[in-house]
Amino acid sequence: MSIDSGNKGWNQEFQDFIHALKQKNDIVEVIRSYVALDRKGGNYWACCPFHHEKTPSFAVNEAEQFYHCFGCGVSGDVMKFVREIESTDFMGAVRILANRAKMDIPETNYDSEKAMLAKKKRDALAAIMLESARFYLGNLYSGDSRADAHLQYIAKRGLAPTTVKKFGLGASLDFYSLPKHLIQKGFSKEDIIDSGVAAADKTGKLIDSQGGRLIFPIINAFDEVVAFGGRLLEKSDFAKYKNTRETMLFNKSKTLYNINLLKKLKREQAIKEVIIVEGYMDTISLYLAGFKNVVASMGTSLTKEQARLVKRYSDTILISYDGDFAGQKADLRGLEILKSESLNVRVVPMPEGLDPDDVAKQGKDAYQKCLDAAMPLIDYKIHALQRKYDVTKTEEKRRFVAEALQVVKEADSESVKEELLKRLRDITGITYHALERDLQNLPKAAQMETDLPKEKLSETAAGTDKWKKALRFILAAKLFSAPYSKDFDVMDLPLADETHIVVAQYIAEREKNQERIRPSELFEVLDENCEELNEILDLNYGEKLSGEIAERFFLDSVKTLQRDKIEREIAECNEQYAKATEESERKKIAQKLAELIRKRNQLKK
């Protein structure tokens, strides 16, 4: 189990500092500086700042110093809240909280020299990126005739100087002036190469990685320039757009263009939905048209990291790619990733051959019409297939129906399936009942083999919902000190999940030392965004853990797990008995088996 925030390597001085830092930053006061809190009962409540909602489900527990959203499941302590709301790393949160509490951060905050060197390296690369961005911007309005093509392109796209400055656009005029400038500023050749802004040619001479291109700085959520996108201004065999290679600062799969301005927008107002486009100019054009809630995936299929990043700002995502996007499997898989992260994904259909930038030029109303036509992902899949096949041709119609039925099969409800089948009927002219029969006759997903050994079946059962619900409830009852759970030893539970083991060990250790159980302390031990811990914390809502019904469910859960544990042991004994050759060994196993059966019968009573 990795330690959140890397505190495995902390020295004692830094551990003491972090403890004091948390004590001086009351979680209610810190969160109140970002969102409005109302006190109800023993907790403070607000609309969750990490997802869009109308009814408050974000609870702050002042006594235990942690927060938990019963809507989206996020939870953490004051340190994690600042990390998430500010989109920063652990040390960034430390700096923010230390400044708030007027505390000095110890100089020897890590006992790892390697970590200190890494931080020094990162700072050097960040300084190079910032200086490069300033250099490129200065080139644009330097009066150098080599910038004429860049300025002409900017004028052609209708970008005012204020827009250029807001997005930090710049110009690379050649392949050698930027590296020369950075060397003159005192940066090392090694750091310049490691930043990604330059590379060494065969002779060892540094060359600008974006030589001659129009420059788009890529800025992270903490307002740091981490990379550059460059656009060619004349026809060439080279790619039209090119990004800085991945570095210590830049990982394309974890970055979204314009995330910095989206974060600023979130501070000003609630963001109902986020528009995701493909490129830099799409982003800028929509922003200028009044759609400030826009980011770009920079031409790649979406990743889980990007999905989790954008989820901080809204649960509803509008995908607005080019008009020829329909049917591209790689892009559709990216949309499935968004859906798998519990995001509400809608796809904005674009006119054939046009991209969002083209439509935005026609005015805000033109693009708003496209947004108004946004459709759920499953509907868009049908739409994509419809554009892929010519249903007036018999063979292509049959292919369309075959693939469309596979899409319908994915629907979450029977009513949606019925609606989609009616749509297929209207598109193809095939009767609804024929389509319904074909849907029902589709091959079913492969069933789990039932001839697994008994112990394997039992291990599989350990991952079922029934098992997990029972374990979660027992651990939640112990974690929040439900009176009926007082005498139960959590280490008697059949624990397999890593999170359950950590939580149980924490509870057992506190009970052994007769110390108070504080759920917030688990955020210092478990991985960031631990979903299983969030599921356990979800049970501390309303009256879920109190009353006769809760007590009865607790006892039933304990019995369920104990009974399954005994069944596993019985299965193991039966297997051992079958393999045993010595009579004395068989007799010993039989005695153990009889005792297990007696315990099982007692549980049944």
Per domain, the residue ranges of the chain are 4-101, 119-249, 251-376, 389-445, 454-604
Average pLDDT over residues 304-309: 85
pLDDT for 596 equals 81
Percent helix, strand, coil in the chain, to 5, is: 55, 10, 35
Q: CA torsion sign, 355 to 358 to 361 to 364? A: negative
Residue 179: exposed, middle, or buried by beta-carbon count in 10 A (0-12, 13-18, 19+)? buried
- Residues in Cβ contact with 560 at an 8 Å cutoff, skipping those fewer than 6 apart: 466, 467, 470
CATH: 3.40.50.20, 3.40.190.150, 3.90.980.10, 3.20.20.140. Which one for 119-249? 3.90.980.10
pLDDT for 95 equals 86
**Measured between alpha carbons, how far is residue 388 from residues 238, 326, 400, 451 in Å?**
30, 8, 8, 43
CB atoms within 10 A of CB 155: 10
Question: pLDDT category, 174, cuts 50, 70, 90?
Answer: very high
Q: What angle do CA 449, 455, 460 make, to 5 degrees?
A: 55
- Residues in Cβ contact with 369 at an 8 Å cutoff, skipping those fewer than 6 apart: none
- The amino acid sitting at 119 is K
Average pLDDT over residues 136-150: 94
Beta bridge partners of 198: 208
C-alpha–C-alpha distance, residues 274 and 271, integer Å: 7
- The token pair that represents 184 in the structure block: 């003159």
pLDDT for 419 equals 93
Task: Give the CATH class of 251-376.
Answer: alpha beta
pLDDT for 457 equals 32
Whole-number mean pLDDT of the chain?
A: 83
Weakest-pLDDT range from 131-140, 406-415, 526-535: 526-535
Q: What angle do CA 335, 337, 341 make, to 5 degrees?
A: 120
Q: Could you tell me which residue, 424 or 455, shows the higher pLDDT?
A: 424
pLDDT for 465 equals 63
Question: pLDDT category, 460, cuts 50, 70, 90?
Answer: very low
Report the run of H or E that residue 250 belongs to, with start and end: none
- Residues in Cβ contact with 16 at an 8 Å cutoff, skipping those fewer than 6 apart: none
Domains 4-101 and 119-249 alike in fold: no
pLDDT for 273 equals 93
pLDDT for residue 589 is more than 70 = yes
pLDDT for 331 equals 57
CB atoms within 10 A of CB 316: 15
Q: Could you tell me which residue, 580 or 205, shows the higher pLDDT?
A: 205
Q: Could you tell me which residue, 380 or 119, shows the higher pLDDT?
A: 380
Strands 294-296 and 274-277: parallel
pLDDT for residue 110 is more than 70 = no
C-alpha–C-alpha distance, residues 5 and 108, integer Å: 16
Average pLDDT over residues 129-134: 96
Question: How many helices and strands (H and E) does the chain possess?
Answer: 25, 16
Q: What angle do CA 483, 484, 488 make, to 5 degrees?
A: 110
> Can you spell out the DSSP letters for 376-400?
EHHHHHHHHHHHHS-TTSHHHHHHH
Could you give the percent of the chain with pLDDT greater than 70?
89
The pair phi, psi for residue 317, each rounded to 5°, is -120, 130
Report the run of H or E that residue 270 belongs to, with start and end: none
pLDDT for residue 600 is more than 90 = no
459 HSE (CA, 13 A, CB side): 7
Place of tokens 């390597």: 9
pLDDT for 582 equals 81
3-state SS record for 125-190: HHHHHHHHHHHHHHHHCCCCHHHHHHHHHHHHCCCCHHHHHHHCCEECCCCCHHHHHHHHCCCCHH
Q: Could you tell me which residue, 184 or 23, shows the higher pLDDT?
A: 184
pLDDT for residue 580 is more than 80 = no
pLDDT digits (tens, 9 = 90+) for 426-453: 999 999 999 999 998 887 543 333 333 3
- Of these ranges, 25-34, 174-183, 580-589, the one predicted with the greatest mean pLDDT is 174-183
- The amino acid sitting at 384 is A
pLDDT for 322 equals 79
C-alpha–C-alpha distance, residues 342 and 462, integer Å: 25
pLDDT for residue 555 is more than 90 = no
C-alpha–C-alpha distance, residues 448 and 464, integer Å: 13
Question: pLDDT category, 373, cuts 50, 70, 90?
Answer: very high
C-alpha–C-alpha distance, residues 555 and 529, integer Å: 30
Could you give the percent of the chain with pLDDT greater than 90?
35
Q: Could you tell me which residue, 586 or 150, shows the higher pLDDT?
A: 150
pLDDT for 527 equals 60
* The CA-based dihedral angle spanning residues 192, 105, 100, 39, taken in that order and rounded to the nearest 10 degrees: 110
| pTM (2 d.p.) | 0.60
C-alpha–C-alpha distance, residues 453 and 460, integer Å: 11
pLDDT for 249 equals 92
Question: pLDDT category, 133, cuts 50, 70, 90?
Answer: very high
Domain formed by 4-101, architecture? Alpha-Beta Complex (3.90)
Average pLDDT over residues 225-249: 89
pLDDT for 160 equals 92
pLDDT for residue 135 is more than 50 = yes
pLDDT for residue 267 is more than 80 = no
Q: Could you tell me which residue, 83 or 128, shows the higher pLDDT?
A: 128
- Residues in Cβ contact with 219 at an 8 Å cutoff, skipping those fewer than 6 apart: 168, 225, 226, 259, 260
pLDDT for 444 equals 54
Question: pLDDT category, 108, cuts 50, 70, 90?
Answer: low
pLDDT digits (tens, 9 = 90+) for 392-408: 999 999 999 999 999 89
Average pLDDT over residues 473-479: 87
